[in-house]
Amino acid sequence: MVLGERRMKILITGGAGYLGSVITRSLLRKHEVIVYDNLMYNQTSLIDLCYKKNFTFEYGDVREWKRLRKIVESVDAVIPLAALVGFPSCEKDKTLATTTNTTQIKNIVDVLSDDQLILFPNTNSGYGSRVDGMVDETNKLTPISHYGITKCNAENYVAENSNGIIFRLATVFGVSSRMRLDLLVNEFVYKLLTDRYITLFEHEFVRNFIHIKDVSSVFEFMVDKYDEYKGEIFNIGLTEENINKKQLVERIQEQIPNTSITFSDYYEDPDKRNYIVSNEKIESTGWKPKYKLQDGISELIEAYKMIVPQESSHYRNSFPLSYGDST
């Protein structure tokens, strides 16, 4: 196995998804990458990489363990991104969510050798709903959705492996070659562009945010620093962006003027996440995020000019809302 500045053979499950499409490109600069994905949405997000000699694509479902196991056992490191993500899809099919998000992680961890690495992305939605100050990596996880439960159970399996690094990701935003419109910043920018207004439920709920390229950057950073930080858990987010939904919309309105917010108590948000997150631990390693929230809003506005004609509401259904790789 090779670490640091040396070349590694890395398996990324769900590598054609929202996060995976960005992380794969980043790691290909120095490493050999195998992407294992079932292309659930017929995406061609990695097709431009086929010329690269250090890139391999394997078609398959992570629940097909016999086939996946052979690949897992052949690599130096595993980044398991494949997941059924988001509140609605996991509540709709809890069995599928559990087998995809938890069981396949246990399968991978169980066969890893002492020389193999695993970098696991959890979501900081595991912190649940808290009103008692800032949370850090020492806080007990109290997930409040089935999605959060499946991801936290998977984290527990990874934590038992001394060669694991766990990232608890803030809500991700930004452009990928396999876009997601269900993520809060991406969705709110889209709605303000197309509808010119947005209705908020429980607008005081606070989230933390992180740009997708910074997520990719921290994976790349930790592959190089693995010996130093294996066994650790890190929150990954923008320290200055612990903000509520109303504040988020107001940030977006700075770049999309002449739009409006309405508030409603008629419905409740089924996703009750509400927390302020400390990112001090990851920042103490020397890694820092490069992209601000306003950077992501700007790029989303430009991207939606190309992929979402503003006069056409049918494009809402052209992108899967709440699926892909893990966030």
* DSSP secondary structure letters along 148-214: HHHHHHHHHHHHTSTTEEEEEE-EEES--SS--S-SHHHHHHHHHHHTSEEEEESTT-EEEEEEHHH
pLDDT greater at residue 124 or residue 321: 124
174-208+239-272+290-318 matches 9-172+209-236 in CATH topology: no
Residue 310 confidence (pLDDT): 44
Residue 215 has pLDDT above 60, yes or no: yes
Residue 314 confidence (pLDDT): 35
Beta carbons within 8 Å of 28's beta carbon, 6+ residues apart: 49, 52, 54, 55
Residue 223 has pLDDT above 60, yes or no: yes
Whether the CB-CB separation of 40 and 323 falls below 8 Å is answered with yes
Q: Which CATH class is domain 9-172+209-236?
A: alpha beta
- Please give the Cα distance from 11 to 15 (Å, whole number): 9
Quickly state the pLDDT bin for 5 (edges 50, 70, 90).
Answer: low
Where are the chain's structural domains? Answer: 9-172+209-236, 174-208+239-272+290-318
Architecture of domain 174-208+239-272+290-318: Alpha-Beta Complex (3.90)
Mean pLDDT on 71-76 = 98
Whether the CB-CB separation of 84 and 23 falls below 8 Å is answered with no
Mean pLDDT on 294-309 = 90
Q: Three-class SS of residue 81? A: coil
Quickly state the pLDDT bin for 307 (edges 50, 70, 90).
Answer: confident
- Please give the Cα distance from 324 to 301 (Å, whole number): 22
Q: Which residue has the tokens 């908020």?
A: 200
Residue 125 has pLDDT above 50, yes or no: yes
Mean pLDDT of the chain: 91
Give strand pairing partners of 207: 243
| Global confidence as pTM | 0.92
Residue 129 confidence (pLDDT): 84
Least confident of 72-86, 218-232, 264-278: 264-278
